[in-house]
Amino acid sequence: METNLVKPHLHGHTIKNVNQVFQNQLTKGQRVADAVAGIIGSWTFMVCQSGILLLWMGANIYLVYMRATDPNYFAAWDPYPFILLNLVLSFQAAYTGPVVMMSQNRQAEKDRLMAEHDYWVNLKAEQEIEKVMKYLEHQNEMIKELKAKIEALGAEKE
């Protein structure tokens, strides 16, 4: 009977946190882009931006109305059709669009790294399972041998 048994619970690979590795590789500009994209993609930003737009339009409409009733009243800085507001929003879109795209590209790269890491983890798990199955087969053979020896000893006693 063989006494050198495989130890399937021992393995020689290190576990790494792909998120931490990826985060450590980001440049300062990439971190800023991700932070900006995170802010732009939030409900807080949507509510604040909507409030600013409503305030801008409301104030200008009010100032146009007040100027019409009193020529000495302060003139609106951006009367309807709000051309300055359109310029500001175009400027914002011109910069936030590429920043969001940079962040999405990095997320796609991170997803690719995660998928690759998952592949290697699954491959290693498959190899470990194969080792465990071989170990179990070996144990089954040993149990059969022991059972046969016990039965043989029992038959000799009778």
Q: For residue range 76-122, what is the model confidence (pLDDT) as tens digits?
A: 999 999 999 999 999 999 999 999 999 999 999 999 999 999 999 99
Give the residue extent of every domain in the chain.
27-157
What is the model's pTM? 0.62
Q: Give the single-character DSSP code of 27.
A: -
Residue 131 or residue 154, greater confidence:
131
Instruction: List, as own/partner pairs, every contact residues 88-96 make where C-beta atoms lie below 8 angstroms and the sequence separation is at least 24, other chains included.
Output: 96/36, 96/40
Q: Which residues, 6 or more positions from 11, have their beta carbon under 8 angstroms from its beta carbon?
A: 124, 128
Q: Mean pLDDT lowest for which of 9-13, 61-65, 75-79, 99-103?
A: 9-13
pLDDT greater than 90 at residue 157: no
Q: Which residue intervals of the chain are DSSP H helices?
A: 18-25, 28-40, 43-69, 83-157
Average pLDDT, the chain: 89
What pLDDT is recorded for position 91? 96
Per the CB < 8 A criterion, the answer to whether 13 and 124 are in contact is yes
Q: What type of residue sits at position 134?
A: K
pLDDT greater than 80 at residue 32: yes
pLDDT band at 154 (very low <50, low <70, confident <90, very high): confident
pLDDT band at 150 (very low <50, low <70, confident <90, very high): very high
Cα–Cα distance measured from residue 116 to residue 55, given in angstroms and rounded to the nearest whole number: 49
Cα–Cα distance measured from residue 6 to residue 43, given in angstroms and rounded to the nearest whole number: 56
Over its C-alpha atoms, the chain yields an Rg (Å, rounded) of 35
What pLDDT is recorded for position 1? 46
State the average pLDDT over residues 45-67.
Answer: 96
